[in-house]
Amino acid sequence: MRKLVIIFCAVCLSSSYAQMHSVSVYGSYLTALAKRQGFMKVTGFGGGASARYLVAQNIGVNLSFGYGRYGSIEQDSSLIKWNWKFWNERYGGNVRIDTLSDTLKAVLNPTQYMEVLPLLLTASYEFQPFEKFFVRPSIGGGILFYTRSLYMDEEWKKRFASLNYTFEYDFRNFAPDKKGNPFALVGGLELSYQVSDPLAVTAQSHFTSVVKTTGKYGYDDFPMKSSLAVSLGLSFLY
């Protein structure tokens, strides 16, 4: 799958009619708009780079690659819904039995996060309402390569009443990752102000809708149906 995407993008952007227009770098705030059932919050930060090629007057093709880390994911009963075999079949039962003791207590805190590598190909049209100010709506699609992770922070306390002493210890357990590469459709708007001949300041917003492919490409484990990215960056003009 990845090889096909890379070959496709290379063919599109290496055609003789495509002329390099600009290369941009940006940082982004990321948030889910339509979340999957059971998720209360999915937000994070990221960044990336894009190359814009002119294929006709005012019409460009954009290839972008980024990195996003959704470090704040809240899900109802996340540990149960992860289907962690080690926890469900072995360790979880031992924890429940151990914490029935009056002398042994535990605080369990499951935490999850997700890293996403979007590879997108879009087409844009450029308007210039004012001098040095450009507006570029865009539409396209691509693939979201993601890895979703969960770990469990455990804090244990063992009380020795005869010694009037409490032994405390903590550790972290990692669940197997969930991975996938669902398809996505994207639409965006970029505002650009040219501050000098080779440099422009940009502000962007992009809406991403994940294509429903139940049972394939990791779609079922992706925590959101759609998302919004708001970005600020710099463009280097050619």
- pLDDT > 70 fraction of the chain, expressed in percent and rounded: 92
Question: Cα(124)–Cα(75) distance, rounded to whole angstroms?
Answer: 36
Query: Per-residue confidence at 10, pLDDT binned at 50, 70, 90?
Result: low
More confident residue, 178 or 102: 178
Strands, DSSP E only, in 76-182?
Answer: 104-125, 127-130, 133-160, 165-174, 178-180
The fold of the 2-237 domain, in CATH, is: Porin (2.40.160)
Q: What is the pLDDT of residue 14?
A: 55
Average pLDDT over residues 32-54: 96
Summarize pLDDT for 157-175 with one digit per residue, the tens: 999 988 999 999 999 999 9
Question: What does the pLDDT look like over 205-237, one tens digit per residue?
Answer: 999 999 999 999 999 999 999 999 999 999 999
- Res 223: pLDDT: 97
pTM, two decimal places: 0.87
The whole-number pLDDT of residue 238 equals 86
| Residue 1 to residue 58: CA distance in whole angstroms | 32
pLDDT at 12: 54
In 36-132, DSSP assigns E strands to 39-56, 59-75, 104-125, 127-130
In terms of Cβ atoms closer than 10 Å to its own Cβ (0-12, 13-18, 19+), residue 104 is: middle
Structure-token pair, residue 184: 């996505």
Query: Is the per-residue pLDDT at 101 higher than 90?
Result: no
pLDDT value of position 58 = 92
Segment among 8-17, 47-56, 106-115 with least mean pLDDT:
8-17
Query: How would residue 16 be classed by pLDDT, with cut points 50, 70 and 90?
Result: very low
pLDDT of residue 93: 87
